[in-house]
Amino acid sequence: MLTLTLNGVVTDVDASTIAELVATLGLTGKRIAVERNGEIVPRSRYVETPLAPSDRLEIVGAVGGG
C-alpha cells in the first residue's frame, strides 16, 4: 500500500503503477487525463509509470461547463 495525494486527498492506494491505480478506481478505458507531480502522464505510459510515496496525482475528466 502506498500513501499519496489523489485529487487533493491523502489516500492509501493498492497500486504500484498509474495503470493499476486507474484500474483500481474503475477508470480503465474512460476518458481521463492523469497528472503526476505536475506532469501529464500520457495514456500510453500508464503501465510503465510507477507510483511513489507522497506522489501528488490529479485525475481529471470532462464535465459540463460553459
Q: Which residues bind other proteins (CB under 8 A)?
A: 6-9, 11, 25-27, 30-33, 35, 40, 42-43, 58-66
Joined grid coordinates for residue 44: 500510453
Residue 40 Cβ, how far from other proteins at the closest point, in Å?
5
* CA atoms of 16 and 61, how far apart (whole Å): 22
Q: How far is the CB of 51 from other proteins (least distance, A)?
A: 15
Closer to other proteins by CB, 39 or 53: give it.
39
In the complex, what is the shortest distance from the CB of residue 33 to other proteins, in angstroms, rounded to a whole number? 4
63, 12 in Cβ contact below 8 A?
Answer: no
Task: Tell me the C-alpha distance between 20 and 57, whole Å.
Answer: 13
